[in-house]
């Protein structure tokens, strides 16, 4: 039996290893093919009488991947998230593409922020007005986010047994004070002396929202809801009072309610919606519809069509939390981004820079390193910031020296404030694990940042002084960049977050608009008529991108399989880990705003 088991496991291991080798050979072949595909500049062909199929089901980031084709590896999809840049470029090209007759907005579990949704919706409306081509929206179930996007369509259809969420917005936070108390861990949270709105650490030290945090969150939610109301009102004809009554009374409880209240144009199965598409295309019932997916269509045209000049506008993407060192998956590395900005500054063919910021901030040191490069770039060429879903704290810090700042009305920005978190784990080690610590030191403050004991009063005062000095420097940076007094900056600072609309009113941004508006403004400021757009930093090669995407998908899949809804708790621990592993002072948004 032992011999049998030995051979059986050896056989299994051999089969597994062969499978892994074949997988990597397969990926390598695809990489070679992809590189060949890209190098030869081949493009896909869009057939006449086609439908641009915008299947928005999943995450939308500012910048999409560069893989030349899609493929399926079972539960692990080696696909980058859909890029806002790709969506905008495809809709722009489709306006004048005679092969594209309509847009099918096929909505699923779209995950992104309100500012991104607004940019897409605005582009859909522009497409419809400029081309006269129809947009048809369909979903099995609409979230409030996807319904907001669907209001740009001429026709909105819902599955007869589906749902349309219309309950108003809410933002909920998980407070971990009780958990840390049970573990005998004291999260020592120190923020700027007057930074009462800088509430990031409150989720670790409190049991509920502070009055200041509640105040700012309520204002943000009201601002976002006002944008939502305007979009739905324009589509349905209901005024704000009626829509608020519908939400407050939970009058949309099923698909029938949604239709009766005029929120959707019809309750149809997917095959019936496809028949509607055929009618628009003048096709007979049952005849095949020619679709062009977003990825396919993006490879069918020249992204710089009509622009042949040698001069360039560089779009530099800064998306994710700001960390020291090199950029990694989902994070902005201070070293990496500053190098990219420096290269764009020193490149004489790049006449203007658009810095696309979508970040809640992070390391104060890394933010200052990036700030320096933005300031130096502004001294030699226009630097225009385009704010995405969030450009707060460190995200605002790096935007402050720009020549001009654009934000969407629904952008979350500001959060001019700083904090530090030093966990005291003495109780946890001593009482829970039976571990004690002892040692020697040459000087009084040699163990200043030790997590194995509580801070002394003098140490807390020193750290408070450091944080207050950094806040003073932060406000000075903003005052210089925005041409404001220190008192003005402090009055809108103190860690408070604002919507883009409010930020415009208080002078933190210059104009309301999206990425395309920022690019146009940058070109005008540089006196460019004929120019090309280049996107930076340069993306990884095809094979490396595949492995990165697979790794990310595997982590996400594993978390979903083993944790389910508890993945939210994992996210909280991840945020705590990010906050505690960074050295120095943190310039980060006071919370993770998840609106449902």
Q: Which residues does residue 535 pair with via DSSP β-bridges, in sequence order?
A: 315
The position carrying tokens 């403050």 is 445
> What is the distance between the alpha carbons of residues 426 and 436, in angstroms, rounded to a whole number?
8
Per the CB < 8 A criterion, the answer to whether 513 and 406 are in contact is yes
Listed in sequence order, the residues at least 6 apart from 95 whose beta carbon sits closer than 8 Å to its beta carbon are 126, 127, 130, 131, 133
Query: Which candidate, 511, 490, 479, places its Cα nearest to that of 197?
Result: 490
Listed in sequence order, the residues at least 6 apart from 422 whose beta carbon sits closer than 8 Å to its beta carbon are 188, 190, 449, 451, 455, 463, 580
The position carrying tokens 């809709």 is 91
DSSP assignment letter at 310: S
Neighbours of 111 (CB within 10 A): 16
Per the CB < 8 A criterion, the answer to whether 186 and 428 are in contact is no
Per the CB < 8 A criterion, the answer to whether 394 and 362 are in contact is yes
What backbone phi and psi angles, to 5 degrees, belong to 442?
-90, -25
Residue 11 a catalytic site member: no
Residue 198 a catalytic site member: yes
Burial (0-12, 13-18, 19+ Cβ within 10 Å), 565 = exposed
Query: Which candidate, 534, 501, 307, places its Cα nearest to that of 414?
Result: 501
Residue 422's H or E segment, with its range, is: strand 419-424
Q: Which entry of 131, 300, 393, 415 is annotated as an active-site residue?
A: 393
Q: Which entry of 196, 198, 375, 381 is annotated as an active-site residue?
A: 198
> What is the distance between the alpha carbons of residues 460 and 379, in angstroms, rounded to a whole number?
39
Range list of β-strands (E), 165-263: 186-191
Helix, strand or coil, per DSSP, at residue 476: helix
What is the torsional sign of CA 464, 465, 467, 468? positive
> What is the distance between the alpha carbons of residues 489 and 510, in angstroms, rounded to a whole number?
15
> What is the distance between the alpha carbons of residues 46 and 52, in angstroms, rounded to a whole number?
10
> What is the distance between the alpha carbons of residues 343 and 352, in angstroms, rounded to a whole number?
12
Spacing of C-alpha 474 from chain mean position: 24
Q: Which residues does residue 595 pair with via DSSP β-bridges, in sequence order?
A: 171
Residue 386's H or E segment, with its range, is: strand 383-392
Q: Which residues are catalytic?
A: 198, 393
């Amino acid at each position: 039996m032992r011999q049998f088991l030995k051979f059986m496991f050896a056989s299994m291991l051999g089969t597994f290893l062969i499978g892994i080798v074949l997988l990597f050979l397969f990926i390598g072949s695809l990489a070679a093919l992809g590189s060949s595909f890209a190098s030869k500049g081949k493009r896909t062909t869009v057939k006449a009488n086609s439908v641009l199929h915008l299947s928005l089901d999943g995450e939308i980031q500012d910048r999409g991947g560069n893989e030349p084709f899609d493929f399926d590896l079972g539960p692990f999809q080696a696909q980058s998230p859909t890029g806002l840049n790709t969506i905008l470029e495809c809709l722009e090209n489709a306006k004048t593409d005679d092969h594209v007759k309509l847009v099918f907005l096929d909505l699923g579990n779209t995950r992104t922020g309100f500012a991104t949704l607004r940019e897409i919706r605005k582009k859909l409306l522009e497409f419809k007005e400029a081309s006269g081509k129809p947009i048809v929206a369909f979903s099995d179930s609409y979230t409030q986010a996807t319904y907001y996007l669907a209001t740009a369509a001429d026709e909105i259809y819902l599955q007869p047994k589906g749902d349309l969420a219309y309950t108003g917005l809410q933002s909920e936070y998980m407070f971990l004070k009780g958990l840390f108390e049970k573990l005998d861990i004291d999260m020592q949270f120190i923020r700027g002396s007057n930074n009462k709105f800088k509430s990031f650490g409150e989720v670790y030290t409190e049991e509920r929202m502070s009055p200041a945090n509640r105040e700012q969150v309520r204002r943000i939610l009201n601002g976002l809801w006002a944008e939502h109301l305007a979009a739905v009102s324009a589509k349905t004809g209901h005024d704000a009072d009626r829509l608020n009554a519908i939400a407050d009374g939970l009058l949309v409880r099923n698909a029938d309610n949604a239709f009766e209240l005029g929120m959707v144009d019809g309750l149809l199965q997917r095959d019936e919606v496809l028949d509607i598409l055929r009618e628009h295309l003048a096709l007979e019932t049952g005849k095949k519809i020619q679709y062009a997916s977003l990825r396919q269509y993006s490879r069918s045209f020249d992204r710089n069509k009509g622009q042949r000049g040698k001069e360039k506008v560089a779009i530099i993407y800064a998306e994710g939390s700001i960390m020291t060192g090199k950029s990694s998956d989902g994070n902005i590395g201070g070293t990496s981004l500053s190098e990219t900005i420096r290269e764009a500054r020193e490149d004489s063919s790049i006449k203007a820079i658009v810095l696309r910021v979508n970040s809640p901030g992070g390391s104060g040191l890394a933010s200052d390193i990036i700030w320096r490069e933005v300031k130096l770039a502004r001294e030699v060429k226009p630097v225009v910031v385009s704010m995405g879903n969030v450009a707060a704290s460190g995200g605002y810090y790096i935007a402050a020296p720009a020549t001009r700042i654009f934000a969407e009305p629904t952008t979350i920005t500001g959060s001019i404030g700083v904090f530090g978190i030093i966990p005291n784990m003495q109780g946890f080690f001593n009482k829970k694990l039976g571990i004690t610590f002892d040692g020697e030191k040459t000087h009084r403050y040699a163990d200043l940042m030790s997590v194995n004991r509580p801070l002394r009063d003098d140490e807390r005062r020193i750290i408070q002084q450091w944080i207050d000095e950094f806040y003073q420097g932060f406000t000075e940076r903003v005052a210089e960049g925005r041409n404001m007094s220190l008192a003005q900056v402090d009055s809108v600072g103190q860690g408070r977050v604002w919507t883009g609309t409010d930020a415009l009113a208080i002078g933190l941004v210059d104009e309301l608009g999206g990425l395309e508006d920022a690019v146009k403004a940058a070109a005008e400021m540089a006196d460019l008529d004929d120019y090309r757009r280049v996107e930076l930093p340069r993306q990884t090669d095809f094979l490396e991108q595949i492995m990165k995407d697979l790794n990310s998908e595997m982590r996400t899949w594993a978390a979903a399989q083993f944790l389910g809804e508890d993945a939210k708790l994992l996210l909280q621990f991840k945020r705590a880990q990010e906050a505690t592993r960074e050295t120095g002072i943190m310039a980060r948004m006071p919370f993770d705003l998840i609106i449902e």
